[in-house]
Structure 1
Amino acid sequence: MSTEDVNSLRYSAEATLARFKAKLGFLSKPKISLAPNAHWNGETFRNHGKYIKHDAWAALRWLRTRQPEQWPQWVDSEPTAKPTTCHSEQIADWRVTYVNHATVLVQIGPWNLLTDPVWSDRVSPVTFAGPKRVRSVGIALDDLPPIHAVLLSHDHYDHLDIRTLMWLHERDKPMIVTGLGVDAVLKAHGIDTVVALDWWQSVTLGPLELFFLPAQHFSGRGARDRNRTLWGSLLVRSSAGSLYFAGDTGYGPHFQSIYEHFGAPRLALLPIGAYEPRWFMGPVHMDPADAVRAHQDLQAIYSLGIHFNTFQLTDEAIDAPVIALKTELAKQGVNTAYFGVLSEGESRSA
């Protein structure tokens, strides 16, 4: 199935009404059964530590003054081999395949995990406007192996692609692990295999333990639902090491905290794109320099750069993240053997 097939998926009447209400902000208060704490005040979620200035007024200023670099209209990804249905029966055998943007297939022995799956042509509330795909996906949907779990970091459209999730739910019914409140978005579209967690909570999947952890970001899909669902990163712990997926995040002390709790991840998926201008994007999106610092905080055995090359969300050039990553690795004394990028559809052992 291609991106065109995903884009043409029809919503049920109930889901269409839910989408319309969400756009108007009527679904702005999902039920959160959580006592007020350091990141939940009873109405909205917030980041730990200092106030993160990334609001509507700042967004308007950016839109008025932005000077985005020119991106190509379209780039075809190179053909690659289809991933195997079962990579290995041994939990110690891992393989990682970069699909596009923040979508990565990680095969931990016989377990197939997918991060923030996006196959749609646009990442937007509507299908006729908003950030448009400029590069083909690395794996066709029909070529995906059976997916056992989806690691869903938050509800922004370039991470929560409801059409793709509907397709995956129809075919595989994977466990979807995400933050508090995001389950309401999914259940409104008939997706009921959701586990919504607070930071530091976990759920088991066979021999794997899946944790929802802090990140420095924000949430919202409609007019009045900003920060009413929880964003985060995710970690999968196994007897053969851990996988860390940073989701969408600015650089912050949470990386050090996660290392102190779990030790060095065997594989870390760290965003390197969508970062200019820094005065606006810096609090919520890492640039390559931040990503290298996060890699060092985590003491990751290997880090893979994600969140670039697919949708023009910010102002930097399409090739800027990879170029800057190489520069920052050299500047910060990190061997390129321990932090790299893959082309769409490319795989490597992890």
Structure 2
Amino acid sequence: MKTPLPLTLTLPLAALIASPALADVNVYSHRQPELIAPLFDAFTAQTGIKVNTAFVDKGMLERLRAEGKRSPADLVLTVDIARVKEVVDAGVTQPVDDPVLIAAIPANLRDPNNQWFALSTRARIVYASKDRVAPGEVTTYEDLADPKWKGRICTRSFTNDYNVALTAAYLAHHGEEATKTWLEGLKANLAKKPEGNDRAQVKSIWAGECDISLGNTYYMGQMLADPEQQEWANAVRLEFPVFEGGGTHVNISGVAMTQSAPNKADALKLMEFLVSDAAQEIYAETNHEFPVKADVKRSDLVASWGELTPDTLSLEEIAQLRPAALKLIDQVDFDG
């Protein structure tokens, strides 16, 4: 076996444990390899420390549990607060009481016990038809339940993690009764049954099947980079709704150190690098996401989408409310 490059590995478990090349920092990642390779390349260039990545799309928690103290993984990189909390709650991570991380990341974007840290944020916003929706017509999440949108909204399944997190945030702001009413109103406004992913909803707007949809911001960057999807992207603009009395809902990509962490010192160096200005700029440029550090410039493309006023709700609170949010989604049979 050739010595692996510091970009990505998708080796089977036995090879990952046995390979002598994996002696620097080993990362299990939910993130696509091409999205994080530029970050790890920059870290290696700066420090000389190699990063070996196993892309684990499914079964990461089961894998960590099975490996236990013998796990070669130092860090876990994942997306959505639900996945981050799932790993932490399983007891396979450890706290990192590091002043660099604590100073760099706002309190609402990290675990109170320093078990996880956000590295970037993405906003869950509205994609709106340029032709059929006036600029500024979408202002709040609450407004999406207004009958004026009847037959005009598309969305992916509301049991998807992104929509469950949005519902949990609504629940935190307004309580159970108001959230159920909102879900019922939003469902009544759907143009069709929830299906597909966020980009499929933008395609539906382009095709005239609906006028607005919910989606994460970074998908706009991905569609603009795809020749087959550019026409969809050019048919819409991004609107940044807010909660009444709050801001725009954001979710995260995050990092946690595993309980085993065989290369703890170098893993901590990588964590600190990921919240540095240089790494945050790479996140912003490569992944079309928002830096967690307020003083780091957004990419020109992301900045062109509009001004983001992120909600200040603790993501820990949103994570705790996910079961209750999912229960309400099931009660109204949103996807039915």
**TM-score, normalised relative to structure 2:** 0.33
Larger Rg: 2
Greater RCO (CA < 8 Å, at least 6 residues apart): 2
The structure carrying a bigger helix percent of its residues is 2
